[in-house]
Amino acid sequence: MRDEEAEILLVGGTANRGQVVRVGDTVRRPQRPTSPATHALLRHLADVGFTGAPRFLGIDKLDREVLSYMPGTAVTPPFPEWALTDEALASVAALLRAYHRAVETFDSSPYVWPPSPPDAFSGELISHNDVNLDNVVFRGDHAVALIDFDLASPGSRIWDVAGAARLWAPLRPEHYIDDVRRARVLARFRLFVDGYGLAREDRQRLVEVIRQNHNWSYDLMGSAAANGHAGFSDYYASGALDRAAQTHQWYLDNGHVLRSALV
């Protein structure tokens, strides 16, 4: 095997843990029943000149999808300091906004998509639906690309803002945060929402959307674990359900605090 064909395991995610590899300047990932939709999405993003997502390059001999490798670093534990700054946070908000601008002209109707968010947050545009730290590639201290569009489906801007703010502030009880973000989550929440430029009317309802987004994500991961998915089963075995229940209660108890942070 020549050097450029060597497969280097890429770590960070859970859904395809152990199955995502780098080969030269490409990434190979397993396909899913909804891959044709995702590939059409990536083609659209390339066509409109959006550089913040991998290019879809084809299917390899092992029936894996071939994507362009995005040079840089995805944010994985232990989190580096540069990933936890306000500047890094603002750059994620700007990247998400740029993605939404690029995707709003995409006609998603010919394709079969993964499950959509709840009806009230569905159908506006194809939202990414999984803007977790390990799905954002940074170069220097700036977010330059979203990766892992496996969950992208007809959703909405506010749904992505809710999910991303929840994960990046992050919005959860402080005893679950053991780095410089602790005690700064409200300021970071506001910074993310301002950085994205969320419409005024959407700011009022964002906190409720965050609670629903949290439920939705845990339902998806819970179903995967119940179906025997090894990565998500491990996650649940590590106490994820208890953490999720405490976070859920934290949203209920702190709704007013979170809403005031956006006024």
Ligand X SMILES: Nc1ncnc2c1ncn2[C@@H]1O[C@H](COP(=O)(O)OP(=O)(O)O)[C@@H](O)[C@H]1O
Residue window 13-32: x/- pattern of binding to Mg ion, with contact defined by CB under 5 A? x-------------------
> Which residues, in sequence order, are CB contacts of 193 under 8 Å at separation 6+?
93, 161, 165, 203, 206, 262
List helix spans (H) across the chain.
Answer: 35-47, 86-103, 157-168, 185-196, 200-226, 230-237, 240-261
Distance of CA 49 to the CA centre of its chain: 21
69 binds, among ligand X, Mg ion, none (CB under 5 to 8 A by kind): ligand X
- Provide the minimum distance between the beta carbon of 54 and ligand X in the complex, in angstroms, as a whole number: 4
> How many residues make contact with Mg ion (CB under 5 A)?
3
Options 103, 117, 148, 195; binder of Mg ion; rule CB under 5 A: 148
Residue 42 CA to residue 56 CA, distance in Å, equals: 6
- Provide the minimum distance between the beta carbon of 234 and ligand X in the complex, in angstroms, as a whole number: 13
- Provide the minimum distance between the beta carbon of 10 and ligand X in the complex, in angstroms, as a whole number: 3
Residue 135 or 153: which CB sits closer to Mg ion? 135
**Which residue's Cβ lies closest to Mg ion?**
13
Residue 154 phi/psi, 5-degree rounding, is -60, 105
- Provide the minimum distance between the beta carbon of 21 and ligand X in the complex, in angstroms, as a whole number: 9
Residue 97 CA to residue 86 CA, distance in Å, equals: 17
> Which residues, in sequence order, are CB contacts of 39 under 8 Å at separation 6+?
56, 65
Instruction: Report the candidate in 183, 204, 178, 182 with the shortest Cα–Cα distance to residue 193.
Output: 204
- Provide the minimum distance between the beta carbon of 134 and Mg ion in the complex, in angstroms, as a whole number: 5
Residue 134 or 202: which CB sits closer to Mg ion? 134
Options 26, 127, 129, 135; binder of Mg ion; rule CB under 5 A: 135
Q: Does 163 bind Mg ion (CB under 5 A)?
A: no
Instruction: Report the candidate in 133, 130, 50 with the shortest Cα–Cα distance to residue 92.
Output: 133
58 in helix, strand or coil?
strand
- Provide the minimum distance between the beta carbon of 118 and ligand X in the complex, in angstroms, as a whole number: 23
What residues pair up with 23 in beta bridges, in sequence order? 7, 26
**Which residue's Cβ lies closest to ligand X?**
13
Residue 153 phi/psi, 5-degree rounding, is -165, 170
93 binds, among Mg ion, ligand X, none (CB under 5 to 8 A by kind): none
Which stretches of the chain bind ligand X, using CB under 6 A?
10, 12-17, 20, 27, 29, 54, 67, 69-70, 74, 134-135, 137, 147-148, 150
- Provide the minimum distance between the beta carbon of 195 and ligand X in the complex, in angstroms, as a whole number: 22
Of 42-50, 78-86, 140-148, 173-181: span binding Mg ion (CB under 5 A): 140-148
* C-beta of residue 121 within 8 angstroms of C-beta of residue 160: no
Residue 2's identity, in one-letter code, is: R
185 binds, among ligand X, Mg ion, none (CB under 5 to 8 A by kind): none
Residue 14, both tokens: 């859970």
Positions in the binding site for Mg ion (CB under 5 A): 13, 135, 148
